[in-house]
Amino acid sequence: MRGWIGLAIIAGILYYFATETNKLDEPIDYVKSIFISADKKLSSMTGTKIQRIDTKIPALKEKIYERLSTIEIRELDGVFTDSEAIADFKQEYCLNSKASHPVFSRENLQFICDKI
């Protein structure tokens, strides 16, 4: 029982110093900085980074590949590298109905524009 009373008194004193004075601000900041630096070191050691895998582009290519010639498939691979490239392609060739592409036939260009 005496241990609990002593522990309660120590906790009360620590609470007083932590809330009513600035005596513990420096040690608390020091301990926080240790935890923050340890977290940063652990993050850098694991080296994990979140990478978003876009599954739409390969699925889109598969649908379009069935219809294209070998030359058109190579061109499509060069054009559809990421979402930004697809958006650029769409902006340049799909928004204008009279646009033509140097490699894709008119029908295949329209097919690609319909799929994207």
Q: Would you place residue 99 in the very low, low, confident or very high pLDDT band (cuts 50, 70, 90)?
A: confident
User: pLDDT tens digits for 24-81?
Assistant: 778 878 888 888 888 777 777 776 555 555 566 677 777 788 888 888 888 888 877 7
Look up residue 91 and give its DSSP letter: I
Angle between helix 70-79 and 56-65 (nearest 10): 160
Phi/psi for 107 (5° steps) reads: -65, -45
